[in-house]
Structure 1
């Protein structure tokens, strides 16, 4: 690569939403590393993506490949009937806690804004309905653990949370559909101490994923 090639690259695919303040690192100082994982455009222009320092200047494919080598054996599933804004935030948490895969159950389209482009690094699979999703889980040998504060649910700190499982979350407000509850192997809830009946769906998902990681990661 010539000096001209290093100083005039195309604009890299930054993860930063329009209008957000710049963060990250600038152009690579000194001689460039001789490693296929590094993106030449990012080395020249800087890396403003919201990634951990370990992945600075890496290509997206290299990051995904590295994540795939160490993903945790739990999956996350989300019912999508009302285009819930929390879905994107749950995907973002699934990426942070290194879930094996995210499953969207119901409508194929979902609001990605809350994901903050983490869906680029997270495998996402779609299922037409609860029946199709549970058939997949059964074939994969994965118990479905529903998360909802319904009658019969067990506080997650006292519940069985298998190492290999699917954590199934519902909508803000109505929670999981009756079909999803019926299809689950077990149902867990988060113990609360205030006056509200439930907490934000994205917050609940983060709590449950953290609890899984506390036990198994």
Structure 2
């Protein structure tokens, strides 16, 4: 397995997130596009190596042949003002899914609270285009949120929580998710200024953390996003 670290670009106090998993590239010829045909574009966003050899990355067609840095810069210009955080005190296996979904909805950043190391296989390499931050404890996330003027919205089916189906989510916020099984820690629950839950009608008391994150992020998108900018 390949490993690398991603340094938080905004704060020297936060530590890099260590991720392990597959590389971005695939050797399948039926994925992506081959070498550029015709005169090469002069736009600096294009990568000469990709133009020459083809682009087999997991990106939308609009970003084919672009440098990774150019893609990140373009997304940065239109990211939504919500952040996503997930606790990782027991090596939660849902983090990759959360990162992938946050990327799909252009979240400002993903924050991993607890253990730094996580398996990114479920992220499908979207972590290369998504800002990731690490906080050893919930207190670090709370401090970050206060500095940025973000409300912490906890997602948990605890008594007194507001149904996500009717709740009005703040525009500038951190959506905080607990781990599969134990849910949010006591510190996370106390840090939240708002707690929302997802309506359930079956036999279990909880929803997979990765699925829950997607539901709540989409609820934020329905309330606040400009849908004309979607792909």
Question: What TM-score does the superposition give when structure 1 sets the normalisation length?
Answer: 0.89
Q: How many corresponding residue pairs?
A: 203
SS at match of 1:64: helix
Poorly superposed stretches of 4+, deviation over 6 Å: none
Q: Does residue 176 of structure 1 match 2:184?
A: yes
Deviation string, structure 1 residues 150-191 (Cα, Å, up to 9, x no partner): 111111021120011000011011111011011101110111
- Superposition deviation, residue 144 in structure 1: 0.2
2:26/2:57 contact within 8 Å kept? no
Higher strand proportion: 2
Q: 1:202 to 1:23 in 2, by over 3 A?
A: same
Distance 1:145 1:208 in 2: 10
Map 1:1-217; keep pairs closer than 5 Å: 15-16=24-25, 22-217=30-225
Unaligned runs of 5+ in 1: 1-13
State the secondary structure of the residue aligned to 2:113. Answer: strand
Q: 1:16 to 1:193 in 2, by over 3 A?
A: farther
Cα 1:108–1:67 change in 2 (3 A) is same
Q: Deviations over 1:105-151 (max 9, x none)?
A: 11111221111111110011111101121111112111100011111
| Structure 2 unpaired stretches of 5+ | 1-22, 226-231
**Greater helix proportion:** 1
Q: Rg larger in 1 or in 2? A: 1
RMSD of aligned alpha carbons: 1.5
